[in-house]
Amino acid sequence: MKKTQRYIAMLAACLGLAAIPAMADVVRVDTSTWFKRTTADSSTLAAADKCWVNAGSMLGAGSASPVVANHYAATLDTPLAGCAFSTGYFFAPHVAWVQDPVAPPAQDPAQVWYFGTLGTNAKVADDQLAPLTIAAGGNKFWKSNNPEIFTGTGWLMQNSRTDATRGGQANQLTGCSSAYFFHINQTGGTAYVHLLASNPQAGGVTLSAKGSAYTNATKPLNGKGTGQSYYVSKDWRDGSYAVNFSNRAVASLQATEIAKVAMSANNMADGRFEICTTGGVYLYTVVTTTGTTSDAINKSQGAAAPGDIYSTGPNTYGREGGVYAASEMTGLTNVVLPAGSGQYIGFSFDTTAKYNSHLHEQTVAADTRLSDSATRTFGNYGHKFDTTLRLFNTTSAARDVRISFASSYTAATNTPSFTFSSPASFNGVKLDLWTTPTQPRQVIGTYTVPANSYFDARLLVYIAGLGVTNQQLVVEAL
């Protein structure tokens, strides 16, 4: 570290200011904010004295500065587009000084930009989609969606034993695991779906759980931003759960109820949970007509509930019933903008290559499963997708890009089962994603990528149930 940098760092420490990272000369904008001529509140400044900067921007700005009056002073290497000044201030909680960004990568040959302008409701052709740099991770994912429709009582999914009819095998869940279920009651009357955990250990364990489960009676489904599956996903995006408890003791060879939903005839139920334990446990979804925990525990050790079973086959995805390898898909994809405007590129998002080899495989395999259930997480209901497109602008002028979310499925008429509806966040800003067969593309926004810099476009989604699979992220260079 140079003597000047040491001196500034020591001065900052003496004054109680934030430490200055060595060799940091880039301002990373974490929350959309104003670049201002002074530290005055932005609401008091004239339009000529402030310039809006989008979250995700990376701005070259000389040497890092300490926090003064809750602001960082900065002199930008390249003026913002339409901004009459390049020396000013950022509100410190909205930005961070970071190291020089890495040099732009070489153009990925798998990423092809196409000339043309996409129409209002146009998607990118599936055979033009590029893969994301993405990897499976998170927790093991226990999933119960087969049978989706049940017609009687009994267990729907369990990982405690091999069943003579439905197969499967014992697979204790340890540490933290995710759990998801989606079911429809066609018993002809009121039924209850219970989520249970049992302790097969010789000693006691403690269990913590958080998550939500709703029906379309409590969360009616009637369009965008509605329905049981939407609200389960929303609770996870927002970190606000209907069920949340810690350190519940479960004695040896005993069971506990994590959640229960009451379902009128023909109701749908959707639920997602995280369950953390100090020892291995088994999970069960069980249907009862009594709603009592004791009845559910007894039925968990009996016969499977009757219903419509769908297996993976040459022409079918199948429905999930098993413990799958991962609950999250995350990654950062480097994208170099083209030199010219009027071009677009699309990326596979929440896709499977089962029926189209051009699509990127983004499902995960089962570790163990009921033998009549899906081999992979086709549809990815309940999975967390956290993906970032890092858009590099290698030119000496700022560039505008339009970012959209789209469905690969289109048709002349709308069908509810081919709709995608999920709450999401884009660079921390909450939004609802909604596509239909006749309106398959939704514009998220238009953003500026500074000259010789990059912009991070981060989309976070907990994939809501009851939606169509195979989506797209689309970038247009304007």
> In which residue ranges of the chain is pLDDT below 70?
1-24, 99-102
Identity of the amino acid at 254: Q
CA–CA distance from 141 to each of 108, 246, 462 (Å)? 32, 20, 13
Write the CB contacts of 266 (distance below 8 Å, at least 6 apart in sequence). 184, 185, 186
Print the SS3 string covering 364-432.
CEEEEECCCCCCECCCCCCCEEEEEEEEEECCCCCEEEEEEEEECCCCCCCCHHHCEEEEEEECCEEEE
Compute the radius of gyration of the chain from its Cα atoms.
Answer: 26
Give residue 102's pLDDT: 59
- Burial of 409-447, coded b for 16+ CB within 10 Å and e otherwise, reads bbeeeeeeebbbbbbbebbeeebebbbbbeebbbebeeb
Give residue 350's pLDDT: 98
- Supply φ then ψ for residue 100, to 5 degrees: -50, 130
pLDDT tens per residue, range 55-72: 988 888 877 788 889 999
CA–CA distance from 245 to each of 104, 142, 210, 273, 294 (Å)? 46, 19, 6, 11, 20
Domain map (residue ranges) of the chain? 3-99, 114-135+326-477, 147-308
